């Protein structure tokens, strides 16, 4: 058996200090063997401890290589020794300015129907009209800066917006012009811009532009004032293509990726028209039309 220098020194000290009662060499060697055995166990424990330290350091390096997967965005710290697979995933928020999942950009076509009420007003003319209508529309949208939507739309409608009233003489009490006038608008349309704000599949918008309408007065003169050379008894049919302005707003909702529904109010203003052909109309009249409509569009993204 090979003895270390400390063991030899220990034997020499024991022999010098108590030579009379010194233990035998065999006893000393047995104690040294026991001491070396305990040292071997200590070496094993130290080796196991070093191996554990290496594993901990390896786990720390893995965690620092992928901080986003360990919840660093939430400000949490990962305890050493936990595997990366055991950590829950962290999802980053969508950056500001990115459009929602549904986009309003694209070309669309559709149809609509609604109700209108109108009034023609002048110095000697006052006619209230009302009726239903239906038609088609087409347009294009472009969504940018996140929720902002800019577009143009053109529509045409056909219906029967009609009213009847009695003729009014230019000088009541001095003339005897009598009859009726029926005022009818059977076609109208507009070309408008649309500017809106979108919350995903919901779009609120305003709209404005130019408008046109085909007006058809039907006049029946039953009696004329004496000496009024501009008045002739009989029926007269007239026609006026009116042009003016349109403004309004609405809401549009996407029910499916390509199918949208809308509700809209639109005001049409047509100024200064002479509607009483064959009579002595004192001055021109304005026509104002209010419309409410519901429609459906098919959007081509």
What's the confidence (pLDDT) of residue 82? 44
Residue 1 has pLDDT above 50, yes or no: no
The C-alpha atoms of residue 276 and residue 124 are separated, in whole angstroms, by 10
The C-alpha atoms of residue 24 and residue 31 are separated, in whole angstroms, by 11
What's the confidence (pLDDT) of residue 6? 52
Residue 142 has pLDDT above 70, yes or no: yes
> How far is the CA of 201 from the CAs of 153, 156, 254, in angstroms?
19, 26, 5
Yes or no: say if 147 and 116 are a contact pair by the CB < 8 Å rule: no
CA proximity to 111, closest of 238, 261, 255, 223: 261
**Mean pLDDT of all residues in the chain?**
79
What's the confidence (pLDDT) of residue 244? 95
The C-alpha atoms of residue 300 and residue 104 are separated, in whole angstroms, by 9
**Which helix (H) or strand (E) covers residue 14, if one does?**
helix 5-17
Residue 81 has pLDDT above 70, yes or no: no
The C-alpha atoms of residue 190 and residue 188 are separated, in whole angstroms, by 7
Yes or no: say if 88 and 71 are a contact pair by the CB < 8 Å rule: yes
**Using 50, 70 and 90 to split pLDDT, how confident is the model at 53?**
confident
Residue 175 has pLDDT above 60, yes or no: no
Yes or no: say if 133 and 173 are a contact pair by the CB < 8 Å rule: no
């Amino acid at each position: 058996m090979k003895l270390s220098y400390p063991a030899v020194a220990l034997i020499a000290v024991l022999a010098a200090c108590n030579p009379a009662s010194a233990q035998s060499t065999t006893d000393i060697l047995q104690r040294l063997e026991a001491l070396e055995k305990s040292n071997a166990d200590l070496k094993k424990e130290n080796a196991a401890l070093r191996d554990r330290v290496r594993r901990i350091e390896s786990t720390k390096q893995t965690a620092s290589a992928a901080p986003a997967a360990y919840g660093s965005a939430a400000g949490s710290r990962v305890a050493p020794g936990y595997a990366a697979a055991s950590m829950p995933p962290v999802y980053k928020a969508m950056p500001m300015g990115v459009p929602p999942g549904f986009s309003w950009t694209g070309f669309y076509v559709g149809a609509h129907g609604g109700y209108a009420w109108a009034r023609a007003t002048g110095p000697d003319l006052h006619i209230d009209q009302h009726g239903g209508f239906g038609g088609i529309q087409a347009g294009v949208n472009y969504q940018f800066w996140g929720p902002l939507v800019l577009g143009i739309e053109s529509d045409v409608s056909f219906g029967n917006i009609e009213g009847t009233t009695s003729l009014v003489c230019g000088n009541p009490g001095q003339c005897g012009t009598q009859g009726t006038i029926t005022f009818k608008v059977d076609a109208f349309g507009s070309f408008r811009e649309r500017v809106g704000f979108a919350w995903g599949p919901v779009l609120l918008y305003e709209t404005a532009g130019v408008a046109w309408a085909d007006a058809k007065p039907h006049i029946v003169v039953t009696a004329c004032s004496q000496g009024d050379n501009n008045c002739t008894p009989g029926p007269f049919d007239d026609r006026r293509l009116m042009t003016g302005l349109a403004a309004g707003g609405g809401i549009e909702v996407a029910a499916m990726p390509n199918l949208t529904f809308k509700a809209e109010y639109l005001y049409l203003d047509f100024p200064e028209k002479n509607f009483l052909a064959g009579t002595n109309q004192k001055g021109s009249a304005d026509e104002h039309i209010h419309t409410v409509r519901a429609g459906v569009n098919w959007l081509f993204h």
